[in-house]
Every structure is written in structure tokens, then in C-alpha cells.
């Protein structure tokens, strides 16, 4: 159960779905692989229901619908009025933004490149290739080169053939530039952090992504020799971030005005929860129905992707926690500051990788591995925070200062921070 802002309700650290997210993803892997064997044409048929540009599929309509319903419930829960509180938390907000946008994308690129392109290349296969969507708006002929790829004709459809490890790298990049704006509310609560600061950063990160996600994504994908035309990134951001954000903002405003806050929290958000879960799981099943053969042929594929994601998460957490300590932040602000950077907005990453490269791409698989390891890894970091509270000072219940505003560290979710 969640409150309006997505934080766990009183008496519950984590909802049933969130607690067993790793289990659901694992079941989706099995279910997707079985589906791929039993009905190999189903996922392909659904993904083929797409909008085409220059004879290349650009937007899969069924997947776009699933991904929209993954994103909308997240956006409608956010009260963007909380952004105004950021002025009272200059230091923790500054640390969070610096780590999320000036450090994290580049460490992800470096770590994933070293592991996937060097250390694990022999296991992945130096000659292994992936077939991804043609870049939106790119009018290329069969045999033309594009970045590290070559245009080929696959089942009468133009596709871009790229090294498999670079496709995995692209998925890691898309995860690295997507700071968490949903589950981090749970992690902050479990770590007894400042709920007010966490809510402010959720709103700020959602708005910042509208600008920096495309800029950094386009740059790093280009460096990784999987360049994407800007119109493709803009379309992805518009469909999977801006559209649900705008829809969430205006529908929230209208529903609160017409139905009231109690109905909005207890009725509307309650109805949305199974919609989000269904959309996420349906997308994962379809994805793994495509990637089942890859996983069966090389069952350690998920491990090769998970290791650099694990290292990246720990490195970013340590950096955020260390910077918070160096800047004299209280524990109540340091814990969520470190975890906001460490966790990822995997819904956006899955959506973008699917649109840019296709449901069957290695990039899409890499983003889903991020979902698979998210819960156990973040719970480990929550436990670490709780065990190291003594490294930091603590704020009193009603203390307010320019480092973190009113602490709210012992507030229950839903109460004023």
C-alpha cells in the first residue's frame, strides 16, 4: 500500500509487489522463455504492430501503451509543489543533482565499457551481434555503416547489426542516466531518512530528466558508437516522460479539485496499482519471449550484465554517502541523498531502450537486468545505512536549517515533513 506520494503507508515498509519485485521479474523470465517456445510468433506479431518510418519500425503500439501505463501512475503521485521546498535544502539537493547528472552517467559508461567490452567480451562473444531498430529518420541503404553497426535486411525489414556487447552497453547507459523517482521513496523510508528531502528530489529529478536525459543519452550513446538521431531521443522523452508527466499533473489537479484528496488517495491510486504492475509484467514477459534463445544459449548473460550494474550502484552510493559526510549533512539527509543516485528509474530506461532499439534488443535486456537486481541490492544498502547512522549527526524532530529544512526524519509517510 502506498500513500499519495508513493511512500509506504503507516506500518508497511514496502508493498507486496515491491518486496518481491525480484521474484516477479524472475517469473517473467521463465514465463517469457516458455512463451517464446510455445508461441514464437506472438511477441513478434505484437511488436510488429508499429508505426514505421522509412520501412523501419519506430514505435511498437502495444508496447507503447504498456509503457505509458507503467509511467503515468508514477507521475500522478508526485506533488510538484514540493519543488518549492528545495530552497531550504541547498546542500543535499546540490549533492544529489551533481551525482545524478555530472558523475553517474559517466561512471556507468566507463564501468560498463570495461566489463562488457573488455573483461567479459570473451564470454559474451567478440563476434556476437545484435539486430536493433533502424535509427529514426535515418534513410540508409542495406550495407551502409552507422556508428558501430551495418544496415542489413532481416525478414524483409531493414535492421542495424551491431556488436552484442555494445547493445548491452546502450542499455546500461540508458539506466545510468535515469535517476530513480519512485522506489527511492521506499528506500528513504526504510532507512529512516528525511521524507521531505526525498519528495523534493523526486519532483526535481522528474523535471530535470526532460532536458538532461536526451542530452546525456545522445552524447554517451554516440561515444559508445551507437549514435541515435536527436529526433528519436526527443520522441522517446516526449512519449515516455513528458506525456505521462503532463497527463499526471493535469489529471491529478482536476481529480483533487473535483473528487477531493481522500477519494484520490484511497480510490484512484488504489485502482492504478494493479494497472502499473500488469503493464510492467506484460512488457517483461514479451521482452523475454524474444530473448529466451539468447539466455538459453548463454545462461550467464544476465550475470555479465548484472556485475557492472552492481559495481556502478555501489560506487555511486559510496560517493553520495561520502560527499554527504564531507559536507556535514545529517544522517536523515545523507541516506536518501546517496540512495537517490544509486537507484535507477528502470521504467524510463526500459521504455527508451524499447523505442530506440526494439523489444528484442540486448539494450532492452540490459535495462531489465537492472530491475532484477534493484530490490536486493538497494535493501543491502538500506541495511548499511542503518548500521552506519553513527557516522553522521542527527536532526531533532523540529530542527530547521539551510542544510536540509525541517528534518521530518521520524515522520511517517504522508505526514508533514
Concatenate the DSSP letters of all residues of 7-47 into one string: PBPTT-SS-HHHHTHHHHHHHHHHHHHHHHHH-HHHHHHHH
Q: Write down the pLDDT at residue 1.
A: 33
Q: Write down the pLDDT at residue 4.
A: 44
Q: What is the pLDDT of residues 186-208, one digit of tens each?
A: 788 888 888 777 777 777 877 88
Q: Write down the pLDDT at residue 400.
A: 38
Q: DSSP for 244-290? A: HHHHHHHHHHHHHHHH-HHHIIIIIHHHHHHHHHHHHHHHHHHHHHH
Output the pTM of the full model.
0.78
Q: How would residue 271 be classed by pLDDT, with cut points 50, 70 and 90?
A: confident
- The whole-angstrom separation of Cα 42 and Cα 58 is 19
**Please, what are the domains in the chain?**
16-128+165-391 (1.20.1530.20)
Region of residue 147 (phi > 0: left; psi between -120 and 50: alpha; otherwise: beta): left
Q: Which residue has the higher pLDDT, 13 or 269?
A: 269
Q: DSSP for 281-350? A: HHHHHHHHHHHHHHHHH-TTHHHHHHHHHHHHHHHHHHHHHHHHHHTT--HHHHHHHHHHHHSB-HHHHH
> Rounded mean pLDDT of 215-243?
81
Angle at 224 between CA 218 and CA 230, to 5 degrees: 20
Q: Which residue has the higher pLDDT, 73 or 322?
A: 322
Angle at which helices 331-342 and 301-326 cross, to 10°: 150
Q: Write down the pLDDT at residue 86.
A: 55
- The whole-angstrom separation of Cα 186 and Cα 8 is 6
Beta pairing, strands 157-163 & 129-132: antiparallel
Q: What is the pLDDT of residues 273-298, one digit of tens each?
A: 677 777 777 877 877 777 677 677 77
Grid cell listed for 253: 489537479
Inter-residue contact 1 to 9 (CB < 8 Å): yes
Distance of CA 369 to the CA centre of its chain: 11
Q: How would residue 118 be classed by pLDDT, with cut points 50, 70 and 90?
A: very high
Count of beta carbons in the 10 Å neighbourhood of residue 145 = 10
Amino acid at each position: 500500500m502506498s500513500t499519495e506520494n508513493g511512500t509506504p503507508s503507516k506500518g508497511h515498509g514496502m508493498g507486496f509487489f515491491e518486496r518481491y519485485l525480484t521474484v516477479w521479474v524472475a517469473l517473467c523470465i521463465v514465463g517469457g522463455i516458455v512463451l517464446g517456445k510455445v508461441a514464437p510468433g506472438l511477441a513478434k506479431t505484437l511488436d510488429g504492430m508499429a508505426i514505421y518510418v522509412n520501412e523501419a519500425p519506430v514505435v511498437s503500439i502495444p508496447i507503447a501503451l504498456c509503457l505509458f501505463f507503467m509511467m503515468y501512475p508514477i507521475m500522478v503521485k508526485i506533488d510538484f509543489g514540493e519543488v518549492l521546498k528545495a530552497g531550504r535544502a541547498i546542500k543535499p539537493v546540490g549533492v544529489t543533482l551533481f551525482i545524478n547528472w555530472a558523475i553517474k552517467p559517466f561512471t556507468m559508461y566507463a564501468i560498463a565499457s570495461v566489463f562488457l567490452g573488455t573483461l567479459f567480451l570473451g564470454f559474451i562473444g567478440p563476434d556476437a551481434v545484435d539486430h536493433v531498430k533502424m535509427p529514426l529518420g535515418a534513410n540508409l541503404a542495406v550495407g551502409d555503416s552507422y556508428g558501430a553497426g551495418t544496415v542489413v535486411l532481416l525478414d524483409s525489414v531493414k535492421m542495424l547489426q551491431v556488436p552484442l556487447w555494445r547493445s548491452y552497453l546502450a542499455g546500461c547507459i540508458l539506466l545510468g542516466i535515469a535517476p530513480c523517482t519512485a522506489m527511492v521513496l521506499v528506500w528513504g523510508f526504510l532507512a529512516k531518512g528525511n521524507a521531505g528531502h526525498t519528495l523534493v528530489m523526486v519532483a526535481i529529478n522528474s523535471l530535470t530528466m526532460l532536458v538532461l536525459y536526451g542530452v546525456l543519452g545522445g552524447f554517451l550513446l554516440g561515444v559508445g558508437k551507437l549514435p541515435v538521431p536527436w529526433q528519436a531521443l526527443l520522441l522517446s522523452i516526449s512519449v515516455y516522460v513528458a506525456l505521462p508527466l503532463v497527463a499526471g499533473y493535469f489529471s491529478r489537479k482536476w481529480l483533487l479539485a473535483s473528487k477531493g484528496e481522500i477519494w484520490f488517495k484511497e480510490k484512484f491510486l488504489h485502482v492504478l496499482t494493479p494497472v502499473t504492475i500488469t503493464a510492467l509484467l506484460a512488457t517483461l514477459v514479451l521482452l523475454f519471449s524474444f530473448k529466451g534463445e539468447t539466455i538459453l544459449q548463454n545462461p550467464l548473460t544476465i550475470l555479465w550484465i548484472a556485475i557492472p550494474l552492481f559495481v556502478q550502484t555501489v560506487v555511486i552510493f559510496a560517493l553520495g554517502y561520502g560527499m554527504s559526510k564531507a559536507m556535514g549533512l545529517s544522517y536523515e539527509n545523507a541516506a536518501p541523498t546517496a540512495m537517490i543516485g544509486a537507484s535507477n528509474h528502470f521504467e524510463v530506461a526500459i521504455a527508451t531502450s524499447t523505442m530506440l532499439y526494439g523489444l528484442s534488443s540486448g539494450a532492452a535486456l540490459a535495462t531489465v537486468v537492472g530491475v532484477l537486481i534493484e530490490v536486493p541490492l538497494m535493501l543491502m544498502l538500506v541495511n548499511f545505512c542503518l548500521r552506519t547512522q553513527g557516522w553522521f549527526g542527527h536532526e531533532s524532530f523540529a530542527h530547521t536549517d539551510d542544510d536540509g529544512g525541517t528534518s521530518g526524519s521520524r515522520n511517517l509517510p504522508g505526514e508533514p515533513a
